[in-house]
Amino acid sequence: MPGTDERIARWLETNTFHHSEFWDMQELVRAKHEAGLTISLCIPTLNEETTIGKEIIVFKSELMDRYPLIDEIAVIDSGSTDRTLEIAASYGADTYLSADILPEHGFKPGKGENLWKAIHQLRGDIICYVDADIKNIHAKFASALVAPLIYRPEIQYVKAFYDRPLAVSDEVRPSGGGRVTEILVRPLFSMFFPELTALIQPLSGEYAVRREVLERLPFPIGYGVETSHLIDLYQSSGLDAFAQTDLDKRVHRNQSTTDLGKMSFGILQSFLNRLKTYGMASDLPELHGLFRQFQAEGRRYEQVTREIFEEERPPMITLPEYRERHGR
């Protein structure tokens, strides 16, 4: 049986794509219809008025009007106080407040909440998630993610990445994810799930997944949602269930180190919970949900605390409302 490095190398050859491989949009649309698939595009938002309009224009004009690849474009909003929803609706997106979806189950702030409720609200056999803050938006941010699912029925979950591990002249440019990925998630994956290190950008907000996979995954409501999904699907289906597509470049706002600390805290909570779930760690103490940081003003130092609990929503398939709506 091949070792981990051999399996990763094989997977990189067979399940890692470049968006240029899917240039023929007419063929992609033909294959989609032949497979009998429907595709929903979900953009989770919170105060994204500066970028949401351009995203809707690009996706609707290119992937609905010009090439009928996407069947619905929906914005799922956490409660924006700016003009995000107004702008999105004016350019033709379906807009929903997360709090109004499955109201009997309440509302919890967090991106994972939006992603979870989208499964109930949207109709597609494939759901493609795209973040709302992309400044260099292009149709490939959706089309090149759903393409492997259309052409390869065995693939279940496709992640985007933005750097290319290619030789340039006489130099090799390092490739990897963002700061939280390289400092936290990749070391953890290397220790506990080494095959998952093949995913170059595991925390990317752009990915496409089959409904039958999404509906069976629990959803942390906050920062740990992507990491948990990767671990859960890997444990049930192995590395071959995944693919990734190189989108070349993504331009977006950078988060502060303070905000990245909060993100890391939530991810680590979810990761340790997964270790317990799969019997990979025993006798872990109770996890504290109070994250402590410091800020300084002159010689005065103040501790700043924030409660971060990676509460989880159950698999959507367990909800009677969902089963009735989607005939599952």
> pTM of the prediction?
0.91
The three-state DSSP-derived secondary structure of 121-140 is HCCCCEEEECCCCCCCCCCH
Residue 249's pLDDT band (cuts 50, 70, 90): confident
Q: What is the dihedral of CA 273, 274, 276, 279, to 10 degrees?
A: 180
CB burial of 293-314 (b: ≥16 within 10 Å; e: otherwise) equals eeeeeeeeeeeeeeebebbbbe
Pairwise pLDDT comparison (262 vs 53), residue with the higher score: 53
* SS3 state of residue 295: strand
Q: What is the pLDDT of residues 261-298, one digit of tens each?
A: 888 999 999 999 999 999 998 888 777 878 787 777 77
Over range 72-86, report the average pLDDT.
Answer: 97
| CATH number of the domain within which 315 lies | 3.90.550.10
Q: What is the pLDDT of residues 168-195, one digit of tens each?
A: 444 554 555 688 999 999 999 999 999 9
pLDDT at residue number 163: 67
Alpha-carbon Rg for the chain, nearest whole angstrom, is 20
Domain count, the chain: 1
Q: How far apart are CA 243 and CA 11, in angstroms?
A: 8
pLDDT at residue number 173: 47
The neighbour count for residue 193, using CB atoms within 10 Å, is: 20
The residue range of the domain holding 213 is 4-326
Over range 76-99, report the average pLDDT.
Answer: 96
* Average pLDDT for the chain: 91
